[in-house]
Structure 1
Amino acid sequence: MQRRTWGQQGKPDRFSIAVPDSWFVLDTQAARSPAAIAQMARDRARDDPVLAGQGSSIARILRDAAARADRLGAVYCAVMIEDVRGAGLSACVMVCLRPTSQHIPDLPRQEHAAAVELADRFRHRFGPVDLPAVGRATRTVRVEPQRSTDGEEISQLVMRTTVPVPGLDRVAVIACASPNTALAVALHDLFDAVTSTFRFVHEPR
C-alpha cells in the first residue's frame, strides 16, 4: 500500500494498491537503497527454498526495478520474483503521477509482428476499462523493448492503465511489466487483478 498526500481539501489524500505478500515493495527511497535491497535479497534467499542461494540474482532484479522506478519518478514500485533460474519468473508494478497536460496518451503504434500477434490475444489491447474502485480508465497492453541497468535490451509484456485523479489535473499511470512474454495470458490476468485493487483514499476529516 502506498500513501501519497495531495494536501488539498476535498481531494484524495492518497492512493492504495495491493500486491501479494510475497512481492518486494520498493515504495520509498530508503527501500530502494543498495543496503536495503541487499538485505531483502539475503532474507528471501534464506527463507524461500526455491530461491535458496540466489541472493545476488534477486538483488540484481531489484536494483533494475529500483533504478527504473527512480528514472520514471514512480511513487510506488513492487516486484514479484518467483524464480531466477533460466529465463526466471519476475514482474513489476509501478505507479507514476503525471500532470494531465504533460501526459501523452499511450496510443497504438507500429509494432513487430510477434508483438502484434501477442497483443491481439487480449481483450483490451487499447481502450477503456472499468476499475472496481475508481471507475473508467484507459489501458494499453503490448510487448515493447526495455533496457536493464547493464544495457541489455529485453522484450517485456507491458500493461499500462491511466486513471484520472478526482478533482485534480493529474493522472495516475499504473504500469505492470514482465520479461516472461511466453506466459502472457497468465501475466495479463495477474496484472489485471493487481491493477483492479487501485483506489483513491479520503482520510476522515
Structure 2
Amino acid sequence: MGVAATGVPSWFTLRVPRSWFEFDVWRATRTGDLARLVDARVAHIPQLRQQRSALLRLLREVAERAERQGAVYCAAAADPVEGSGGLVASVMVFHTDGAPNAVDNTVDAIAGHVTAVAPTDRGFPWRTVTIVEIPAGRAVRVRGVERAEPDGVPIDSVVMQTLVPVPGDRGVLNVVLSSPHVDIADDLFDLFDAISDTLAWSRDRPDQLFTTSSSQ
C-alpha cells in the first residue's frame, strides 16, 4: 500500500503483512476508525469475536503512543488470542528535519552518531549498527534489544530502526519496528528486515491511504 502523511516532504511506500492493521494516526485517536477496523477483521475471522475488546485496546495503546511520539504512519500486528502464539508488534514511521548542516544527514554521518552496544552478561540490552541498501537508497540499520522502565518495571523489546535521508536534503525518515517478544528475536528481525526493505520513494501520491492492508 502507498503511504504518505502530513509533514513528510516526499511520498513514500511501505508494505506490511496482510494481517497487520494499518491506520491514520490522527484519525485513530479521534474517530471510530479502529473499532471499524477490528469489526471488519472479526467479521472476516469470527473466532476473534471474543478477543474484540483486547484487540481494540491494543490498537488504541499503539495509536496513542504513535501520536505522542509524533509518528506519521503506524501499523500493528495484534493477535492476543490466548494460546495461539500470536504476535504483537508495531511499525511507526517518523520524519525529522535532521541536523542543521545537510552534511550531517548523510548515511555515513548518521551511522557515526549511533553507538553500538555489546550484550551484557544477561544478554540485554544490545545494539548493532550497519549500512544497508534498500529501494529508498542507502540507509542506516540499527538492530537490538532495548530496555525501558515505565513505572520502574523493566521491559525488554526487540527493536529495528532504518534511517534514510529524504531526497533533496529534506530531513531523515526513520522506520521503527518493535515487539516485546524477545524470545523470538531472530525471527522478528527477519520479519522486520522484510518490512523495512520495502521502503521506497514515490513521485506520485498513492491512490489509497490507510484503507486496506497489503501483503508483503
TM range (shorter): 0.7 to 0.9
Q: 1:142 aligns with which of 125, 144, 169?
A: 144
Once the 2 structures are TM-superposed, how far is the Cα of residue 115 of structure 1 from its aligned partner?
2.0
Q: For residues 187 and 155 of structure 2, what CA distance do their matches in structure 1 show?
A: 19
Aligned length: 192
Aligned pairs (5 A) from 1:2-151: 2-4=3-5, 13-33=10-30, 35-85=32-82, 88-101=86-99, 105-109=113-117, 112=120, 113-115=122-124, 125-131=128-134, 133-146=135-148
**1:46 shift after superposition:** 4.0
Larger RCO (alpha carbons 8 Å, 6+ apart) = 2
Give the partner amino acid of 1:107.
T
Gapped regions of structure 2 (runs ≥ 5) = 206-216
Partners of 2:147 and 2:154 within 8 A in 1: yes
Q: Counterparts of 2:176 and 2:131 in 1: how far apart (Å)?
A: 15
CA contact (8 A) 1:2 1:27 kept: no
RMSD: 3.0
Percent identity of the aligned residues? 35
Q: Is the 8 A contact 1:26 1:32 kept in 2?
A: no
Cα offset for 1:74? 0.6
Q: Who is 1:155 aligned against?
A: 156
Call closer, same or farther: CA 1:6–1:74 in 2, change over 3 Å.
Answer: closer
Q: Is the 8 A contact 1:5 1:13 kept in 2?
A: no
Deviation, structure 1 residue 111: 5.8
Greater mean deviation of Cα atoms: 25-34 or 152-161: 25-34
Q: Which amino acid aligns with 1:35?
A: G
Structure 2 counterpart of 1:126, one-letter code: V
Corresponding residue number in structure 1 for 2:208: none
How far is the alpha carbon of 1:151 from its aligned partner? Answer: 8.9
Structure 2 CA distance for partners of 1:25 and 1:168, relative to 1, 3 Å: same
Whole-Å Cα distance in 1 between the matches of residues 153 and 53 of structure 2?
18
Provide the rounded CA distance (Å) in 2 between the counterparts of 1:145 and 1:6. Answer: 29
CA distance 1:147–1:19, shift in 2 (3 Å): farther
Q: Deviations over 1:112-142 (max 9, x none)?
A: 53225xx58xxxx2111111x1221111111
Structure 2 vs 1, CA of residues 68 and 147 (structure 1 numbering), >3 Å: closer, same or farther?
Answer: farther
Q: Secondary structure at the match of 2:60?
A: helix
What SS does the corresponding residue of 1:54 show, helix, strand or coil?
A: helix
SS at match of 2:27: coil
The TM-score with structure 1 as length reference comes to 0.79
Residue ranges of structure 1 left out of the alignment (5+ in a row) = none
Displacement of 1:153: 5.2
Instruction: Decide whether the 8 Å contact of 2:12 with 2:199 is kept in 1.
Output: yes
Between the aligned partners of 1:96 and 1:151, the Cα distance in structure 2 is 27
Cα pair 1:41 1:56 within 8 Å, conserved: no
TM-score (norm. length: structure 2)? 0.76
